[in-house]
Chains A and B, each alone.
Chain A
Amino acid sequence: MSRTKAVLLSMLACLGLLAGACASEDPAIEETNGTTESAPEFEEGTTMAEIQERGTLNVGTKFDQPLFGQKNPVNDEIEGFDVEIAKIVAQAIFGGTLEEAAENINFIETVSAVREAEIQKGSVDMIVATYTINDARKALVDFAGPYFIAGQDIMVMRDNEDIESVEDLNGKRVCSVQGSTSLRNVEEQAPEADTSISFERYTDCADALRAGRVDAVTTDNVILLGLVRDNPEDFKVVENTFTTEPYGIGIPKGDDAFRDFLNDTIEEAYESGAWEEAFDATVGEAGVDAPEPPEVDRYTSTGEASPAPTPTVTATASPTATGTASPAASPTT
């Protein structure tokens, strides 16, 4: 008797689990499912509504970029500032707390070279992957943001007081990696700098800096901040970038409603302090204070995706029937 009861109970439990699984796919039920805030409502047909209905936000990010998007080898979690930005967007779509909303994110690894193609294919709703906004890319995809301004910066010993900008590098020994554009930028902006020391890896430059063999190391601040995080008592970043790399959220071309929504979300995160919290918890670990958040650029999109160079890309402009076909790729009007 008690045995049949146990079996019955376990079956009920299974049903309960199943119902729970179903519920997470249905926003109507999820609202009553213990979330602190109810899910916001979106106009029918918008990308936000479709993502909400689907229950999953597909986000492309990097899995190997320290501080921004890096897979934690211990627990396989993707961590970093880009990931936190994605969580903020997820919260704005699904409601609830940041952690609850994060459950609905499906992270997909997008290395630099495939980002435009993945957006156009519709395999991701958006890409947050240290994605620099520039005109060439704007012809293929649209950008919300920027939510962070990266750029080439200078790393010096923590007690160094005389190097504060790129001009101060004149007459100093500067290290970067062999064949990098970083060295060329320095040679242009500080022609008197001694750039004869170069290694194969940035960690070697860091060793040379610690050994007093060079006065400074220069490359993108994102890389430098990663080095500082690993050696916080030795190094610091000057925090005076001399090139500009605005990071934006890449989305399909012409989806202005989604882009406005993302820009609003970023600005709200600026005001609520969520952006600063996200920064402090990730990039801030390298010992830098959150900068002034960059102003969001609500540029006028050229609308249709420009003729793509390869036929495979043009094919993605029409909605395809591949099960997970992104609603974002379908016309919203």
Chain B
Amino acid sequence: MEVLLNNLDAFGSGLRLTIALALTSFAGALAIGLVIAAFRVSPVPPLRAAGAFYVETIRNIPPLVLLLVFYFGFPDIGIVYSEFVSAALILALYTGAFVGEAIRAGINTVSRGQAEAARAIGLTFSQTLGLVVMPQALRSVVPPMGNLFIALVKNTSLASVISVAELTFISKRLITDTAEGLLVFFGTALAYLVLTLPAGWIVGRIETRTAIKR
């Protein structure tokens, strides 16, 4: 137990970096997901194809592989970002594919009649999407978004392989220093729970707050 208490500083700094990584990449993933979903329901065939291509490539490659390719491989073609930016970017791109699919599923739950009525009164495609369809669609995607956020928090541990000093990286370093593998990893698991459990609770709150009163 002492190992954990003596190294609260280290755990704290790792936890902060994990939170920062999760929040920045989730913000990125939301932006990417919205664009991808819009592409996939757009009336323009090339946009639909591009959206489908993005989703099918990114979501079918393990995020660890994406990260390693980006971090170790892309410098060969002149693309070099810092460890943190590399990790945040890859996590955003990866989660973005799933967010896009969740939003598209949300859009599909809104009945065709809504979009047809909007077009009938003269709204453009983007107005239809932004003013009529999306507000209804986003409500139904809150629960899957919560799942994606929790998955993202757990995936931030991948950043440890490229030397981002987040929670998992810090705990691996603590273990080599203290040789207390069981205790340190127990503390690390606990720290992830501290992040993911409240996240699930907040998602539940948002869900009740945004529910349509019928």
Residues in A lying within 8 Å of B, measured CB to CB: 178-179, 196-200, 204, 207-208, 210-213
Point out the residues of chain B lying under 8 angstroms from A178, CB to CB: 172-173, 176
Point out the residue from A197, A207, A213 that lies within 8 Å of B80, measured CB to CB: A213
Q: Is the interface of B mostly helix, strand, loop or mixed?
A: helix
In the complex, are the beta carbons of A199 and B163 less than 8 A apart? yes
In the complex, are the beta carbons of A196 and B71 less than 8 A apart? no
In the complex, are the beta carbons of B165 and A213 less than 8 A apart? no
New A-B pairs, 9, CB < 8 Å, besides A178-B172, A179-B177 = A179-B173, A207-B72, A211-B71, A211-B73, A211-B75, A211-B80, A212-B80, A213-B75, A213-B80
Point out the residue from B83, B173, B176 that lies within 8 Å of A197, measured CB to CB: B83
A49 to B176, CA, bound (A): 48
A211 to B86, CA, bound (A): 13
| In the assembled complex, B2 has its CB within 8 A of some CB on chain A | no
| In the assembled complex, B9 has its CB within 8 A of some CB on chain A | no
In the complex, are the beta carbons of B161 and A199 less than 8 A apart? yes
In the complex, are the beta carbons of A198 and B163 less than 8 A apart? yes
A194 to B176, CA, bound (A): 20
Point out the residues of chain B lying under 8 angstroms from A208, CB to CB: 72
Nearest chain-A residue to B73 (Cβ)? A211
A179 to B177, CA, bound (A): 7
B72-90 CB contact bits vs A (8 Å, 1 = yes)?
1101100010010000000
- Number of cross-chain contacts by CB at 8 Å: 31
Q: Is the interface of A mostly helix, strand, loop or mixed?
A: loop
CB distance from A253 to the nearest CB of B (A): 32
Residue among B72, B163, B177 facing the most chain A CB atoms (10 A cut-off): B163
In the complex, are the beta carbons of B72 and A211 less than 8 A apart? yes
The answer to whether residues A196 and B165 also contact, given A179-B173, A179-B177, A213-B80 and a CB cut-off of 8 A, is yes
A281 to B163, CA, bound (A): 37
Residue among A178, A197, A204 facing the most chain B CB atoms (10 A cut-off): A178
B27-56 CB contact bits vs A (8 Å, 1 = yes)?
000000000000000000000000000000
Return the 7 tightest CB-CB contacts between A and B, nearest first.
A179-B176, A211-B75, A197-B163, A207-B72, A211-B72, A212-B75, A178-B176
Nearest chain-B residue to A208 (Cβ)? B72
The answer to whether residues A196 and B163 also contact, given A178-B173, A179-B173, A213-B80 and a CB cut-off of 8 A, is yes
Q: What count of chain B residues pass the 8 Å CB interface test?
A: 14
Nearest chain-B residue to A211 (Cβ)? B75
Nearest chain-B residue to A179 (Cβ)? B176
A200 to B161, CA, bound (A): 8
Nearest chain-B residue to A212 (Cβ)? B75
Point out the residues of chain A lying under 8 angstroms from B177, CB to CB: 179
5 contacting pairs across A/B (C-beta < 8 A): A197-B83, A198-B173, A212-B80, A213-B71, A213-B80
A332 to B120, CA, bound (A): 109
A200 to B68, CA, bound (A): 14
A196 to B172, CA, bound (A): 14
A178 to B161, CA, bound (A): 11
Point out the residues of chain B lying under 8 angstroms from A210, CB to CB: 72
In the complex, are the beta carbons of B173 and A211 less than 8 A apart? no
A179 to B175, CA, bound (A): 9
In the complex, are the beta carbons of B163 and A211 less than 8 A apart? no
A279 to B150, CA, bound (A): 56
**B residues 69-123 in Cβ contact with A at 8 Å:** 71-73, 75-76, 80, 83
Point out the residues of chain B lying under 8 angstroms from A200, CB to CB: 161, 172
**B residues 113-135 in Cβ contact with A at 8 Å:** none
CB distance from A304 to the nearest CB of B (A): 36
Point out the residues of chain A lying under 8 angstroms from B73, CB to CB: 211
CB distance from B148 to the nearest CB of A (A): 29
Nearest chain-A residue to B163 (Cβ)? A197
A204 to B161, CA, bound (A): 9
A303 to B76, CA, bound (A): 59
